[in-house]
Amino acid sequence: MNAPALNIVPFVSVHNMMRLVNAIGVERVLTELAGFVEADFRRWPEFDKTPRLASHSVDGVIELMPTSDGVTYGFKYVNGHPKNMRAGLQTVTAFGLLADVGTGYPVLLCEMTILTALRTAATSAVAARHLARPGARTMAIIGNGAQSEFQALAFKALLGIDRLRLYDIDGKASRKCAGNLERYGFDITIAGSTAAAVEGADIVTTVTADKQYATILTDNLVGAGMHLNAVGGDCPGKTELHRDILTRSQIFVEYPPQTRVEGEIQQLAADHPVTELWQVIAGTAPGRRSADDITLFDSVGFAVEDFSALRYVRSKLAGGDFHDNLDLLADPDEPRDLLGMLHRAAAKG
């Protein structure tokens, strides 16, 4: 088979992403994707790392998230606009790109609205596999929007979570979540309050959308041995946990320079001790130290996880029809003759 022209870039649309995930199976995708995330965390020092580049407005934020391992470069464009839901729009949308470092040419363009939901859930489950108490089976999910089902499925696939306790201030969201998850064999309870949802839970996932300093989870609700998966607080001025929870938890983060600005730990002093998750995965730092510890994964999402997700999708494209080919880059016969290329195109009509 002839190699594709370098100006032709594989593009995975939303339609093809859905086809790909359904063909593989969502739980298998989450499991395989988690493997890519974990592999890249183990080689964390190889990556260029920088906090995401954010453009904030009163309505939300638009961000670029770049990284490179020296061979491949990747970035994601993503927004976060909580008010969008009122207009029937997605709160978060995204697309991403991989490129060859040697030439600078793109090698993949991909939708990342669905893919971000998958990679966020997979990363949460990877963290919990290293931090939660062994044998955890019950998870409370506070906030039952678009990310909640993916979290549930990732924790089922990687940890064996099979009991869910759901709560959202909008009861319709909880009923939607429960309905979508019925087919996967969970024992599901829709709770009437946050307190009722977290009672008896081994793991508590908070994944709310409002951009504000919120106290979704109060200190009195967090018992010894819980693992907290704080997903919703992911930009300056947006939190979900009471500060007192943080001061008695072991805190694990992706990339401290970003998390200290955007995560739950923006409530703490800049020198408050945290452990980087990659160190736990690589075996250079301890995770949970005892069954009674409260562990907190202060998740804000980092570019390496998107890089892993894009790598995973690219690995699934060979020999399949889950992408379109885009004529994305100008490819003149003579690299210095772009105008001549225009003239020749005009002559062809």
324 flagged as catalytic: no
What burial class does residue 5 get, using C-beta atoms within 10 Å of its C-beta: 0-12 exposed, 13-18 middle, 19+ buried? exposed
**How far is residue 30's CA from residue 118's CA, in Å, rounded to a whole number?**
6
How long is the chain? 349
Active-site choice (40, 168, 202, 234)? 234
Type of residue found at 285: A
**How far is residue 203's CA from residue 195's CA, in Å, rounded to a whole number?**
14
**Are 2 and 128 a contacting pair, CB within 8 Å?**
no
DSSP secondary structure string for all residues of 300-318: ---HHHHHHHHHHHHHTTT
On the CB side of 235, how many CA atoms lie within 13 Å of its CA? 23
Type of residue found at 72: T
**How far is residue 164's CA from residue 141's CA, in Å, rounded to a whole number?**
7
DSSP secondary structure string for all residues of 221-249: G--TT-EEEE-S--BTTBEEE-HHHHHTS
b/e map of 294-311 (b: 16 or more CB within 10 Å)? bbbbbbbbbbbbbbbbbb
Enzyme catalytic residues: 234
